[in-house]
Amino acid sequence: MNKLGIIDYGAGNLASVCNSFRAIGVEGKLVRTPADLTDITHLVLPGVGAFGDCAAALRKQNLAESICQWISQDKPFLGICIGYQILFESSDETPGAQGLGVFKGHVRRFADNGLKIPHMGWNAVTPLRAEAPIWTDMGESPYFYYVHSYYPVPQDKGLIAATSSYGDTFAAAVIKGRVIATQFHPEKSQVQGLRLLKNFLTL
């Protein structure tokens, strides 16, 4: 049986994420220390807040190393928004702050191209690896909900599992093995979001 862990670093969108999993019949356990990972099979790092604050909080709680180890073992992992960005090395949002460095790359701010920043609302997602289990029953161009001013630019373009466009075309999601991370918020994306969470739990 799957046992879901949701990381609580003091700033994540915990209530919405917990409620979304509850809506599909899964009760998540809050993870605040490495010891809380015992017996967990699926791990979620939700995202609300700033890159530097998230990195500092995870390190303060001794969770940064545990997350990196979890991912290195190819255990099912879902990073959402800041929980996606923090997997990279650095960000325009907090110069000098070090991310977890799971993936090589930098988190870039949207260019000032006349569009409102943050990018907020529904937008189409184009899966690049439609065969990936996370996209099961999604269709060719599912819509998800975004709230962000920054997006990762992976050095390894092979990681990119989906794109969206908002002035720039950006990596909306990455996949490596059973590690999934999305710039959009599944927990705010109604039917498609719940479908994605269900697909994650099948990994």
DSSP per position, the chain: ---EEEE--SSS-HHHHHHHHHHTT-PPEEE-SGGGGTT--EEEE---S-HHHHHHHHHHTT-HHHHHHHHHTT--EEEETHHHHTTSSEETTSTT-----SS-EEEEEPP-SSS-SSEEEEEE-EES-TTSGGGTT--SS-EEEEEESEEEEES-GGGEEEEEEESEEEEEEEEETTEEEESSBGGGSHHHHHHHHHHHHT-
Q: pLDDT digits over 40-61, tens only?
A: 999 999 988 899 999 999 999 9
Domains of the chain by range and CATH?
4-201 (3.40.50.880)
* pTM reported for the whole predicted model: 0.96
What's residue 13's pLDDT? 77
| 65 part of the active site | no
Contact 120, 87 (CB under 8 A): no
Q: In 10 A of CB 48, how many CB atoms? A: 17
From 18, 81, 119, 148, the catalytic residue: 81
Q: pLDDT digits over 99-152, tens only?
A: 999 999 999 999 988 899 999 999 999 999 889 999 999 989 999 999 999 999
Strand partners, 109: 150
From 18, 119, 148, 187, the catalytic residue: 187
Q: Return the minimum-mean-pLDDT range out of 8-12, 22-26, 144-148.
A: 8-12
What's residue 116's pLDDT? 95
Sign for the CA dihedral angle at 32, 102, 11, 43 comes to: negative
| 185 part of the active site | yes
| 68 part of the active site | no
Strand partners, 7: 31
140 CB-side CA count, 13 A: 0
